[in-house]
Amino acid sequence: MKILKVNIARAIWLFPLTEMNPQGKAIDSDLIEWLKKTYQFAKYPAHAFDFDQDTKALAFAGGKFSAGHENGKERYIALGLGLYKDGLVVNTESSTSDGERFLAEVLESAAKEFNLALPEKIQKKLYFNEMDVRLDQSISLLNPKLDNIARRITELRTEDSSLQFAFAGITFLPQPEKQGAISGFALERKIGTDWSENRYNTKAPLQTDAHIQLLEEIESLLVL
């Protein structure tokens, strides 16, 4: 298996943001300016009530963060940040581990900069990861019977029997009452790519490393 592209690596830390500012200091404008300059965000809120229409968060985008060194050079990652009343959301295109390193740094640095309290506890951590990958084998090898269904679809379309269908992916969902909050797992052929390329898009409510591990376990089942 080869990772072609990490599209989204999202880490979510849930805790009451107000606990960091128990004295109610008027720092909103200064905090926005500090975040903008420290992490070089290209997009940022104009003021403390400039919420993103889609996410309802104070949204920052086009920033960068030093995630350590690679081959003797500092490694910067692109990032986006959302500030909510009940926590922080960071999006990167590298890994959820990088995102969590950023969250840990930004909380500690902001606490020092504005003399704030660190949260007593991160109440919950959630993850979402989406990648494009190339598998060594076709996913149809999970169950050859599925190819029979694909052939039947082709046969039953009498208006155009030359159009071929193939088994394209698998999906797993959490229990119904959790489906609004937790995403499912999906591994699906990449739209618009030739089947012989074995390119897939995959999404999971997992840390990046765990997502990769799961894909490797699935790929081990694709035996001829």
pLDDT (tens digit, 0 to 9) for every residue of the chain, 224 residues total? 999 999 999 999 999 999 999 999 999 999 999 999 999 999 999 999 999 999 999 999 999 999 887 787 889 999 999 999 999 999 999 999 999 999 999 999 999 999 999 999 999 999 999 999 999 999 999 998 998 999 999 889 878 777 899 999 999 999 999 998 899 999 999 999 999 999 999 999 999 999 999 999 999 999 86
Let me know: does 148 contact 166? Beta carbons within 8 Å: no
Rounded to 10°, the helix 28-38/96-114 angle is 130
- If 0-12 CB within 10 Å is exposed, 13-18 middle and 19+ buried, where does residue 38 land? middle
Let me know: does 171 contact 186? Beta carbons within 8 Å: yes
Rounded to 10°, the helix 96-114/208-219 angle is 170
Residue 194, pLDDT score: 95
Best CA proximity match to 127, nearest among 97, 152, 161:
97
- Token code pair at residue 1: 């298996």
Residue 69, pLDDT score: 79
Which element (helix H / strand E) includes 70? strand 58-70
d(CA 212, CA 215): 5
Quote the pTM value.
0.92
Let me know: does 27 contact 3? Beta carbons within 8 Å: no
